[in-house]
Amino acid sequence: MEKVDRKKKAYELFKNGYNCAQATVVAFEDILGLDRQTLLNVSIGFGGGFGRTRNLCGAVSAFAIVLGLYIPHSDDPMEGKAQIYKHIQELSAEFKSRNGSDNCGELLKNVKNLTQGYLPQVRDEEYYRVRPCIKFVLDSVEILEKHLGLDE
C-alpha cells in the first residue's frame, strides 16, 4: 500500500480554500472511515478558531475529530472520555511547545489587516503570504501522524 503524503494533502486542501480544521481532518480521510464530504462538513465550523471567534486554533481542534473517529474507545463514557482527553492534551502540549500557543487570536496577533466577523477573508496571494496558518496545519498533521504511529 502506498504511503499517503498527508502534509502535502493538507497543504493542497488549505491552498484550495478549505479552513485549517478541514485541511487537517481530511488529510486523514484514508483512515477515518468516513467520506470526504462528511469530514468537510463535520470540521467546517472549527476554522478561524471556532467559527472565526479566534479561540482554539482549528488545526488543533482537528485533533479531537481525528482521534474521536480513529481511536476505538470504551463503551464506558468516563473511561472513553479520559482516554481521548489524555491524547488531546498530549497533542495540544506538543503543538503549544512548537508554536507558543494554541489560541488562534494569539497565533495570528502579528498578522496585519486581520478581518473580524463571520465572513471568511478572501484567499489571495497576500493572504497566503502573511498568514502562518499553513504552518499550523502542517504541524498538526505531523503531530497526529507521529502520535498515531503513521509516520513510519
Q: What is the mean pLDDT of the chain?
A: 95
Residue 62 CA to residue 23 CA, distance in Å, equals 9
Task: Please report, in angstroms and rounded to a whole number, the separation of the first and last CA atoms in the chain.
Answer: 13
In which band, very low, low, confident or very high, does the pLDDT at 1 lie, cut at 50, 70 and 90? low
Is the distance from CB of 43 to CB of 26 less than 8 angstroms? yes
pLDDT for res 116: 87
Q: Please write the tens of the pLDDT for every residue from 134-147.
A: 999 999 999 999 99
Residue 63, pLDDT score:
98
Task: Report the distance separating Cα 119 and Cα 3, nearest Å.
Answer: 37
* pLDDT grade for 103, boundaries at 50, 70 and 90: very high
User: Model confidence over 64-84: pLDDT tens digits?
Assistant: 999 999 998 888 999 999 999
User: Does residue 129 register a pLDDT over 70?
Assistant: yes
pTM for the whole structure: 0.95
Q: How far is the C-alpha of 75 from the C-alpha of 131, rounded, in Å? A: 41
In tens, the pLDDT along 10-50 reads: 999 999 999 999 999 999 999 999 999 999 999 999 999 99
